[in-house]
Structure 1
């Protein structure tokens, strides 16, 4: 068989694999997979949005506390980014799909972007604190839904991320407090 005859056969196999469904087997049932994956993807979109906002503020930080705030936001952004892969893979392990593009993230995110040319350091930190609190709330909603379906692995993952979001919110809140007794 010539190399030319093999190439169309390989292309046909590749196209067949590309068209194959991505549904992994799941013991949770079709409704659970659909709803839990949707909840996880909503959280994932918000996590991506928060990551980018945190980096935006990290890059545009200024003022007398620049170094401390710059490093704090960099540390928080790293933690937020680490959650993205875990959330996306959790959705896939369930048998669902996950986000595919920035456009899809934008369609699902509930946290607002901040495209302002200038934001004061205090306002940056306060906005991120509120966003982290809201994210923890969204995660609690996803946790409740996953618990209804007996998806203990997703609830476990979300519990860790809720704690991390609350810790970030706490640090940001404490950073913005005045020196009053």
Structure 2
């Protein structure tokens, strides 16, 4: 009888192990504090206009933040950093203020659209403006100049002006 009871108690545990627990990983975007500094250049992040970026490193709670999407890309596209990153987030500048982007407007950087070469300035000169939709990016590019790009088209060479 004891063996039967033990077996009955063991079955739910075994069933739990066999269930598919592949629920999508939730991304927790950490807000950028007023006194935080850019992970790449050390400048005060919120002191300057334009979209910002943040990322999550794998297997850690470390979430570097950047004063511009340009700095975020310059860090994230380095081969030694690429394999360490689990998530990249940028401000959707189509839904938030250019001068002081709100962190509730963070979107997945890999799904965003970008305007490169715009006349709008950010902390490090010309911004790499980020948008949730292609239409928003095109409207911005028509007004402020630049070319509309997808995430995969942003390269270190492009950022270096090559």
More strand per residue: 2
- TM-score normalised per structure 2: 0.24
More helix per residue: 1
**Higher RCO structure, 1 or 2 (CA under 8 Å, sep 6+):** 1
